[in-house]
Structure 1
Amino acid sequence: MSNNRKIFYERMINDIILDKKSTILVVGATKYDSDIFQKNGFSNVTISNLDSSTDYSPHKHSLQDLRKINYQNQSFEYVVANACIHHTSKPHEAILEMYRVSKNGIIVIEGNDSNLIKITNFLNLSQEYELSAVINDDYSHDKGGVDNSFIPNFVYRWTKREIYKLISSYEPQYTHKINFFYNSDFGGYKNVKKTSIIKPILYILEILAKLYFIIFSSEKNLFCFFINKKEKKLKEWLKIDSKNKIQLNKEYLNKKIKK
């Protein structure tokens, strides 16, 4: 991955996970992820993927499928995913599984489904299906495509609204605290695809994009969100009873809704 992506990744985990001893599950991870967490001083990390052959020490390792994580609810303080959700056939389910097994929250870094990325897809400057992921067959445990197959995956990109709708549908009893972060990386457009556009034109397009991002920062192609479970709040039409169970707040409903 590019240096810009690496810097963004490191900044997100360091800004959000303040306690280096926090229990962390990194899903869909590679040695790249393992090295980043080790370099940044996180000491209680479990690397999870479908790889049983690589040594991820000093971190623990667990064989896990993103679509169905084999851990109990709230098993880890944080669950992290970097550029792997788009490799599963059930990206929404993967995020909800991450959320389920986390105690404090989840950090996800993926692509931003911005207007600009739609244009680059149309101009064939970016990938809608990740052909580059399956061209390298150096690793027998990672075929690179969807659900670890040889079939190139659709590059599922996200928006703020989609994350809000997903988690609000999963837990409608709460108002959720979600932080969004953006950054840009042009390495993929230069290095991943073979293109007939000459380098000077790509250079000009990169300058124009950077100027565009000054005004529209949420159009940048790197997208990170942190769903903070510790700061979610019960909806005002609900209340906690004496047995610590959620009940309807009928007093609120009677004030707001006609019978």
Structure 2
Amino acid sequence: MAESGAGTYEEILQDLLDRRVLDRDHSVLVQFAGEFDRGVTVRLGLRDVTFVNLEPASVSSRLPSALRADAHRMTAEDGSYDHVIGHAGLHHCSRPHQALYEMYRIARRTVVAVENQDSPLMRVAGRFGLVGSYEHDAVADGGGTTGGVDGTGVPNHVYRWTRREVEKTIASFDPGRTVPVEFRSRWLIGTDRALTPGMRSVLGGGGAPARARLVKGLNLGLNGVARRQGNIFGFTIRKDLSRPQTWIPVEPTVTVAEVPA
């Protein structure tokens, strides 16, 4: 199972509210939405929210009221929503860059995503079997028929991002403009359910309480010395702060909708 960045997700949205980048009356599209996402929006007091999921009634989302839509081919118009947000969903997509493009295209002000980070320490952990590359548990939860790539029963590859990759991807989406991206990362070695057999071996067989204490200490230590390389990776694409490239003499003619002045 991919590591959950639930706390980071809510922290980013609360920070945007505190800085008045996000207003509670702004329109928000929640991609890959589930019960968890609905709870976050309720706690934050967001009032104009649309929930979308490829398989809204699946065990991995459990939000039958969400609209059904393909993340790779959204029908919404450019700039239809002030903010488009998504938690732990891009790595379930067979074409994660295309799904991120659709989030970017539909958003007017910001795109918020929380995924897994690809870092030197994470790659070392992968080589030693301490983190998984495919999400088998999510498919097992779905009875072998859902929870995997594009909502199918095939376990998805856990696509992990780097800061540079996000920046290059956005520059490719919108080459006529410079678009700031804010990053937030942290270590969150997950719950007992999320641990690979290799990680359980490293932590020993002292039972769940003992492992929980070791995991807590491991998270604290890693965040103290190498937080930037953390497995949890949040980024906010600030379309509201985008500007034309200095080498373009006039406003770009091919661009995604902007926030009115």
State the TM-score bracket (shorter-chain normalisation): 0.7 to 0.9
Query: Is the 2:57–2:63 Cα contact (8 Å) retained in structure 1?
Result: no
Q: Confirm whether residue 182 of structure 1 aligns to residue 192 of structure 2.
A: no
Alignment of 1:42-53 (within 5 A): 42-51=46-55, 53=57
* Contact residue 176 and residue 252 of structure 2 kept, 8 A: no
TM-score, scaled to structure 1: 0.82
Q: Matches of 2:69 and 2:253 in 1, distance apart?
A: 33
User: In the aligned structure 2, how far is the partner of 1:189 from the partner of 1:120?
Assistant: 17
CA–CA distance in 2 between the matches of 1:95 and 1:213? 27
**Stretches of structure 2 lacking an aligned partner (at least 5 in a row):** 255-261
Residue by residue over 1:117-155, the C-alpha shift from the partner in whole angstroms, topping out at 9 and shown as x without a partner, is 112211212111111111112697xx1110111111000
The whole-number CA distance in structure 1 between the counterparts of 2:252 and 2:165 is 29
Residue 199 of structure 1 and its aligned partner are, at CA, apart by 4.7
Q: Give the secondary-structure state (helix, strand or coil) at the position aligned to 1:97.
A: helix
With normalisation by structure 2, the TM-score equals 0.82
Cα distance in 2 for residues equivalent to 1:183 and 1:131: 24
Of 67, 76, 79, 2:72 maps to 67
CA distance in 2, matches of 1:39, 1:170: 33
Contact 1:238-1:246 at 8 Å conserved across structures: no
Aligned 8 A contact 1:89 1:147 in 2: yes
Match for residue 154 of structure 1? 157
Distance 2:114 2:147 in 1: 18
- Report if the CA contact (8 A) 2:118-2:162 is conserved: yes
Q: Aligned in 2, Cα 1:113/1:189: closer, same or farther, shift over 3 Å?
A: farther
Out of 36, 43, 66, the residue aligned to residue 40 of structure 2 is 36
Distance 1:42 1:132 in 2: 31
Q: 2:26 aligns with which of 22, 43, 64?
A: 22
Distance 1:219 1:206 in 2: 17
Structure 1 window deviating more from structure 2 (23-32 vs 115-124): it is 115-124
Q: 1:184 to 1:212 in 2, by over 3 A?
A: closer
Closer/same/farther in 2, CA of residues 62 and 211 from structure 1, 3 Å limit? same
Query: In the alignment, which of 105, 113, 126 is matched to residue 108 of structure 1?
Result: 113
Residue 50 (structure 1) shift: 2.5
Amino acid corresponding to residue 155 of structure 2 in structure 1 = P
Matched-pair contact (CA < 8 Å) for 2:188–2:219: no
Distance change (3 Å), C-alpha of 1:103 and 1:215: same
- Output aligned runs, 1:1-259, within 5 Å: 5-17=5-17, 18-51=22-55, 53=57, 61-137=66-142, 143-188=146-191, 191-194=194-197, 195-197=200-202, 198-199=204-205, 207=217, 210-240=220-250
Distance 2:54 2:126 in 1: 30
Q: Which of 1 and 2 has greater Rg? A: 1
- Listed one character per residue, the Cα deviations across residues 72-99 of structure 1 (whole Å, up to 9, x for unaligned) are 0000000001001000100000001000
Say if 1:50 and 1:65, in contact at 8 Å, map to a contact too.
yes
The answer to which structure, 1 or 2, has the higher relative contact order (CA under 8 A, 6+ apart) is: 2
Aligned residues: 240
- What secondary structure does 1:46 align onto? strand
CA contact (8 A) 2:118 2:161 kept: yes
Residues 202-245 of structure 1, C-alpha deviation per residue, up to 9 Å, x if partnerless?
666764564343233211111000110011111111122xxx66
Question: 1:15 Cα shift?
Answer: 1.1
Which stretch shows the higher mean deviation, 188-197 or 163-172?
A: 188-197
Q: Give the SS at the match of 1:65.
A: coil
CA distance in 2, matches of 1:122, 1:135: 24
Distance, in Å, in 1 between the alignment partners of 2:229 and 2:11 is 19
Give the Å deviation of 1:115: 1.2
Change in CA separation of 1:207 and 1:44 when aligned onto 2, cut-off 3 Å: same
Q: Distance in 2 between matches of 1:209 and 1:46?
A: 34
What is the identity, as a one-letter code, of the residue corresponding to 1:227? I
Structure 1's unaligned 5+ residue stretches are: 248-259
